[in-house]
Amino acid sequence: ETGVTQTPRHLVMGMTNKKSLKCEQHLGHNAMYWYKQSAKKPLELMFVYNFKEQTENNSVPSRFSPECPNSSHLFLHLHTLQPEDSALYLCASSQDRTAMNTEAFFGQGTRLTVV
Amino acid sequence: DAKTTQPNSMESNEEEPVHLPCNHSTISGTDYIHWYRQLPSQGPEYVIHGLTSNVNNRMASLAIAEDRKSSTLILHRATLRDAAVYYCILMEVWGDMRFGAGTRLTVKP
């Protein structure tokens, strides 16, 4: 148990569906991150929020829409996805973006399959 | 972004020490060296980090070269549970954790 909880753990969705991934942490952290890990590939940083403000969007397609209503919760809204979007989506949190001397905590991930 | 270079894979025997190398020749004076590992079907987990001095914790030791252009993660006695992908990451000011391919460690019984 890392203190970062992701739901659901597994998700199968059609290309026309709309779904959301949820991430929650109660570690008192102010930075939260979404990563994508496709099969046999390194983790790709998608979005970064620091004190609820989005500070990074790594050229992610608009069919992925993040939301950070407060420092404890992070969502990834999904719509009209493609089969190549099937991957493990990981959420992480850290004290804040300037805290290089502290560790980040990751959730277990959501395994997404787009059919 | 600062870059790191790690071997793609390494093997170790159970209960023997493992030395996982990382090169980071472009490191700047304020970059921290972090190590994470990812067990199968799990998210990455923190292992250890340091700036200039060698560091020890319950999981591992981190040896940092004097010029800081390389570092080595040391697992003192590898167990089967240590089989994972190990990532060496440089943390910059206002930087974010960006992962490379890492080193896949196989532990043989």
Instruction: Give the list of residues 6+ apart from residue B97 with CB closer than 8 angstroms, or none.
Output: A33, A45, A92, A94, A104, B34, B36, B89, B91
- Lowest-pLDDT range of A4-8, A9-13, B11-15, B28-32: B28-32
* B interface with A, Cβ–Cβ below 8 Å: 30-32, 34, 36, 42-46, 49, 51, 91-102
pLDDT at residue B1, as a whole number: 54
Mean pLDDT over A34-47 rounds to: 93
Cβ–Cβ under 8 Å, residues B86 and A42: no
Q: What rounded mean pLDDT belongs to chain B?
A: 94
CA angle centred on A27, ends A23 and A32, rounded to 5°: 45
Closest chain A residue to the Cα of B48, Cα to Cα: A103
Task: Specify the amino acid at residue A50.
Answer: N
Task: Give dist(CA B98, CA B101) in Å, integer.
Answer: 10
Chain A (79-108) residues lying within 8 Å, Cβ to Cβ, of chain B: 90, 92, 94, 97-98, 100-101, 103-108
Cβ–Cβ under 8 Å, residues B72 and B22: yes
Bridge partner list, A50: A31, A53
Q: Strand order of the sheet with strand A64-70?
A: A4-7, A18-25, A73-79, A64-70
Sign of CA dihedral B21, B77, A93, A90: positive
Six-digit token string for B64: 């940092």
Q: State yes or no: pLDDT of A15 exceeds 80.
A: yes
- Burial of residue B109, with CB atoms counted within 10 A of its CB: 0-12 exposed, 13-18 middle, 19 or more buried: exposed
Mean pLDDT over A65-93 rounds to: 96
- pLDDT above 90 covers what percent of chain A? 82
